[in-house]
Amino acid sequence: MRPVSIQIQSVMDAFGQQGWQYEHLEDRDVIRTAFEAYHTQVHLHAQAFPQLNALSVVGETLMDLEVEQEPVVLELLARANKRITLGSLEYDLDRSQLMFRITNLFERDKFDPDIISSMVHAAIAEVDRITPYAAVIQQTSEDLLDDLSVERLLLRDDLIPPVPEYEDE
């Protein structure tokens, strides 16, 4: 068994500071966990790349699609990605997973816990935000898919999860 890297240890410390439960994959610079979001459960893994001082956080949720729905969902993700500054939405065709991936390069071996937390929050929020839009496509029958405007679908505010309210500390 190899020792835990400084990089993944700093990720585990950041998760601990937030009170987030996680599982460390032995002999790998990876931790994984799951979060209950507004629309879906987001499975999340964080992988450190010590040689690069990089961290990649991936949030994903299951989204089974019919073959005819896949290109429409891929268009949805491409259009949604145009509005995202950091990270990207993806669909894993082999595993039927709707995903958001964000990566950051750090200056130091010990990663900043605020940046780690922000990356995790972004992954959860983006997967949760796009899920109801993809679900509309998933629930649209094949004969109506050609009539579905992805551009107009993305304008629907009623599908966006509410912004959490935080009490002043």
User: Alpha helix locations (H) across 19-112?
Assistant: 70-81
Note the pTM of the prediction, 2 decimals. Answer: 0.91
Q: How confident is the model at residue 3 (pLDDT cuts 50, 70, 90)?
A: confident
Q: What is the pLDDT of residues 117-154, one digit of tens each?
A: 999 999 999 999 999 999 999 999 999 999 999 999 99
d(Cα 100, Cα 114) in Å, to the nearest integer?
19
Give SS3 for 15.
Answer: helix
Which helix (H) or strand (E) segment holds residue 66: the answer is none
Q: How confident is the model at residue 167 (pLDDT cuts 50, 70, 90)?
A: low
Whether the predicted pLDDT of 168 surpasses 70: no
What count of other Cβ atoms lies within 10 Å of the Cβ of residue 128? 22
d(Cα 135, Cα 156) in Å, to the nearest integer?
13
pLDDT for residue 161:
75
Residue predicted with more confidence, 2 or 124? 124
d(Cα 49, Cα 29) in Å, to the nearest integer?
7
Q: What is the CATH number of domain 6-154?
A: 3.30.1460.10
Whether the predicted pLDDT of 19 surpasses 60: yes
pLDDT for residue 2:
74
- pLDDT (mean) for 163-169: 62
- Cβ(22)–Cβ(12) below 8 Å: yes
Q: What is the pLDDT of residues 31-82, one digit of tens each?
A: 999 999 999 999 999 999 999 999 999 999 999 999 999 999 999 999 999 9
Q: What is the pLDDT of residues 67-125, one digit of tens each?
A: 999 999 999 999 999 999 999 999 999 999 999 999 999 998 899 999 999 999 999 99
Whether the predicted pLDDT of 169 surpasses 60: no
